[in-house]
Amino acid sequence: MISKKIVYVYQFFKTPEQGGIIRSYYLSRALADAGYEVEIITSHNENAYEVKQVEGLTVHYLPLHYQQDYGTLRRLYVYLAFVIKAIVCALRIKQVHRCYIASVPLSVGFIGLAMKWLRGIPYYFEVGDLWPRTPIEMGYFKNRWLQKLLYRLEHLFYQQAEKIIGLSPAIQSDIAQRVNRPVAYISNIADCEFYRPQDKNPALQHRWNTKGQTVITYFGSLGKVVALDALLDIARVAQNRKDLRFLIVGAGSELAHLKEKAYGLHQVAFVGHVNKTELRDILSITDVAYLSYLNVPALGTNAPNKLFEALAAGKLCVINIRGWHCEMIEKEGCGFYADQTRPQEFLDKLELYLQQPQALQQASEKARRLAETHFSRQKLAAEFVALFDVEEPMRQRNPSLVNS
Q: What share of the chain is helix, strand, coil (3-state, %, to 5)?
A: 45, 20, 40
pLDDT at 313: 97
Condensed to tens digits (0 to 9), the pLDDT of residues 330-369 reads 999 999 999 999 999 999 999 999 999 999 999 999 999 9
* Domains 5-189+376-397 and 202-374 belong to one CATH topology: yes
pLDDT at 400: 39
DSSP 39: E
pLDDT at 390: 55
The 3-class SS string of 332-344 reads HCCEEECCCCCHH
Q: Find out whether 245 and 214 touch, Cβ atoms under 8 Å.
A: yes
Domain spans of the chain, in order of start: 5-189+376-397, 202-374
Question: Looking at residues 249-278, what average pLDDT do you find?
Answer: 93
Condensed to tens digits (0 to 9), the pLDDT of residues 11-47 reads 999 888 777 788 999 999 999 999 999 999 999 989 9
- Kindly report the length of the chain: 404
pLDDT at 396: 37
Condensed to tens digits (0 to 9), the pLDDT of residues 99-130 reads 999 987 889 999 999 999 999 999 999 999 99
Condensed to tens digits (0 to 9), the pLDDT of residues 76-87 reads 888 999 999 999
**5-189+376-397 belongs to which CATH class?**
alpha beta
Superfamily of domain 202-374: Glycogen Phosphorylase B; (3.40.50.2000)
Q: How far is CA 43 from CA 68, 85, 146, 244, in A?
A: 14, 9, 27, 40
